[in-house]
Chain A
Amino acid sequence: MKKLVSVSASSFLTLVMLSACSDNGSEEAASSDQGEWSPTNNLEFVAPAGAGGGWDTTARMAAQAFEEADIVDVGIGVINREGGGGAVGWSYIANQAGDPHYLFAASPPLLLIPLNGQSEYSYEDFTPIANVIADFGAFAVRDDAPWQDLNELFEDMQDESSSITVVGESAPGSMDHVQFVNIAKAAGIDPGSITYVSAQDGSAMTNLLNGSVDVYSTGVTETIEQVRAGEVRVLAVTAEERLEGDTVEDYPTAIEQGIDEVFVNWRGFFGPPEMTEEEIDYYVNAFTELNESPEWAEVRERYSWDEYFMVGDEYEQFLEEQNEEMRQLLEELDLYGESE
């Protein structure tokens, strides 16, 4: 009994301590003259979203693998800073300018939300460290839906009187919406004509199953169990090549159906503004080591994430191209908003 009391008391204490730590301004990073830098404090990995989502999982799994593979000497705490589709977490990181002990997990919404005009900070305000993985979008329909492949669906959508609706979990102009629009546009559909319903309370799959909507644009993993149960079919994934693994290997790509377009849900880590070369180098080495570690390989396999490793100039150029592509899409959707 006593032991249990202390277990629960300590978990409460952790909570209080976590909240207390998170606002401690870390001390100035000690950067030695030799041009080598290593962290002097514990690191904080920020997931700019709630527990359980993609950013959260990426941050937690990376922190865990860093510790298991013994790559980083200091402790890593994962903190959720939820709000504004990421904007709250980003403004928190921007306030840590110059303190390299804070990293955050990022993916396409880091481009999309600022392009929507919903964040005062954009990806250019932060220091890209490394991209680690990618996963892909999937378009699911009910098992009894009339469309056997993506082209049949798009043909019907081209008919002006069509009432086909697409549901997704993100806001209009963010992930689930944009990945569908991106592929549909390549097939000749007018982006503005797509009816998109946002179901942010987790009811998207329910609404597909009960027939309220026709297509569910989501991540590959979200579809697996329903496909196995024979409830839904996946018309296409947004990957370049077929994915590996049970069930998902049966998902056709858009490319093999003649629509030459992909959508990569890249996931990487960024640091605060004003990081020095030495600090960036330290993290680039750490993430390179992580990427090659068996611990991280196991994580990738568990979540069916693809290896998608990029650092330095390559990553920056990739982000620039992606950002331009997204900007064009949002302009066509009339969702592009100049951020102040």
Chain B
Amino acid sequence: MIDFGGILSGLQMALSLEGILFVFVGVFVGTFIGLMPGLGPISAIAIMIPMTYNMDPTIALVMMAGVYYGAIFGGSTSSILLNAPGVAGTVATSFDGYPMAQQGKAGKALAIAAIAAFIGGTVSVVFLMLFAPVLSSVAIQFGPPEYFALMLLGLTAIASLSSGSTIKALMSALLGIMIVTIGIDAQTGTVRFTFGSANLLEGIDFLVIALGIFALAEVCALIINRQKTTFNAKTIGSLKITKEDFKEMVGPMSRQSVLGFIIGVLPGAGATIASFIGYTTEKRFAKNPDEFGKGSIKGLTAPETANNAATSGAFVPLLSLGIPGSGTTAVMLGALLVLNVQPGPLLMTENPTLFWGVIMSMYIGNIFLLILNLPLIPYISKILAIPRPMLISLVVVFCIIGVYSISFSIFDLYVLLAFGVIGYLMRMFQFPAAPFILAFILGGMLEQSFRQAMTISGNDVSIFISNPLAATLLALAAVSFLFPLWQSYRNKKKSNQTLSM
């Protein structure tokens, strides 16, 4: 049932002068924060909490939501231009965005990212508007066995993330799973692999690893191979997206708007997982998967659509159930409590203006983001015109500020440095970094949900099969794992046949 009265009152709120002003402030701050590697929406929103005291709760949430999806929107820029992901959700954006920029097509890459993000953001708000109440009941169907199956399905994509040796991809993934076990184990409270250091108790933050493995490793490569660099990254190229380009974008945009949104709805999943799953599924379905990682338009469109769609999805459990599904929405929930609003299942009926006002403001926010980001492209990409030695120093400085702002810990800076070295070595010996990152993201939840499920069932593995949703997901995972093997077997057979002919 669609509550038209509520939608209208929300629209009225969103279109009020105050509503428009603060959604603009939100997305503007978000874009800016997203640009800075390491600075994410959580810290931005935490800093803004004091600003929201005495504010109307709807306006406050409109603004905070703007910061959130604005940061994901803006985070792609530094991923594309510098290979330094602005926020966790845009790590996958660098896989194809950065190669495009290196080929002198930075302008086009940024334009594609902006349009994909806009479509992902807007389409998912339509879903949010139409299905939030229905989807909230789906979101809570996911218990530990379902999450385990879903994470396993995500992990089967590792094979598709490797362009060369599968063995190397698996080793890289295994390293990711090993690293994620560092810290206090959530199920027993046991301290694992911290070597007595209090700094490792919480494990290693995802962004520290991503900035090390991508940005710092790239910096190393740029310094060490400075003679070899032949491409001309200084040219931004045309912003223009041709008809052919757009045709390539349509498929990933339409699929990933839906998939990204659904993943965002699940508490605990969110933009980062959505962007990776978006990237790997598109690679699976692509006609020329070999182009992925080398500046593929599809490879850039997919994560950018998915991560922005997921941010809207994350509002489903928050607004319709009062359950924060991610760190950022948890901070927003905290800010709402300060303003005397406790989101819960009754929010939609008791405070429809807030519920619908936030949703409606997202349409406006996404339009603002598009008109804010598109004209800025020529100016922002001037970054690339900065002389190489200066640019490299700037990237290093931004990475350090970004990591320090996550935890205010000097120790993390050493960890960042260590992962920079590891990332560079992995490159040198051609170990792909993407499986490592994917395994790190999914591995923690995979382990925890497996063990939660086992505790609940009293160590009876049938819990994964007796439950239809989990069983279906596991079957999908099996297909997803076996399909590429079968494919390569068939290709081999075919090429043998051609040879014998």
Contacts and interface: CB of A to CB of B under 8 A. Distances in A.
B198 A88 contact: yes
B196 interface: yes
Given A81-B408, A163-B458, A206-B140, A171 B344 contact: no
A256 interface: no
Interface string A188-203: 0000000111111111
Nearest to B456: A165
Interface in A65-93: 79-85, 87-88, 91
A229 B346 contact: yes
A61 B189 CA distance: 30
Contact of A120 (B189, B198, B409, B455): B198
B143 A212 contact: yes
B49 A51 contact: yes
Interface residues of B, number: 74
Interface in B431-475: 445, 448, 452, 455-456, 458
B202 A83 contact: yes
Interface string A170-195: 01111000000000000000000001
B305 to A, nearest CB: 25
Interface in B6-63: 24-25, 28-29, 32-33, 36, 39, 42-50, 53
Interface in B191-206: 191, 196, 198-199, 201-202
Nearest to A173: B189
A202 B340 contact: no
B143 A207 contact: yes
Given A8-B29, A201-B448, A212-B143, A51 B46 contact: yes
A206 B323 contact: yes
Nearest to B455: A197
A52 B334 contact: yes
B268 interface: yes
Interface stretch (A10-18, A96-104, A146-154, A305-313): A10-18
Interface string A1-33: 000100111011011101100110000000000
A172 B32 contact: no
Contacts of A324: none
Contacts of B47: 11, 14-15, 18
A279 interface: no
A284 interface: no
Contact of A212 (B48, B409, B456): B456
B327 interface: yes
B374 interface: no
Contacts of B44: 11, 15
A120 B194 CA distance: 13
A209 B189 contact: no
A56 B408 contact: no
A225 B344 contact: yes
Contacts of B337: 57, 221, 303
Interface of B is mostly: helix
Nearest to B48: A11
A8 B189 contact: no
Nearest to B406: A82
Nearest to B467: A212
B452 A197 contact: yes
How extensive is the interface on chain A, given as a class? 35 or more
B198 A87 contact: yes
Contacts of A50: 42, 327, 331
A15 B408 contact: no
B481 interface: no
Contacts of B458: 163, 195
Given A51-B334, A116-B189, A202-B324, A8 B405 contact: no
Contact of A174 (B45, B189, B202, B456): B189
B54 to A, nearest CB: 11
Interface string B82-100: 0000000000000000000
B140 A12 contact: no
Given A51-B45, A173-B189, A197-B455, 18 more contacts: A4-B24, A4-B25, A15-B47, A19-B408, A23-B410, A50-B327, A52-B330, A80-B46, A88-B198, A88-B407, A119-B198, A172-B189, A195-B456, A199-B452, A201-B445, A205-B321, A212-B144, A302-B340
17 contacts: A4-B25, A19-B404, A51-B49, A53-B334, A57-B337, A83-B201, A83-B202, A85-B201, A117-B191, A118-B184, A197-B187, A201-B445, A202-B325, A202-B330, A206-B139, A206-B140, A206-B267
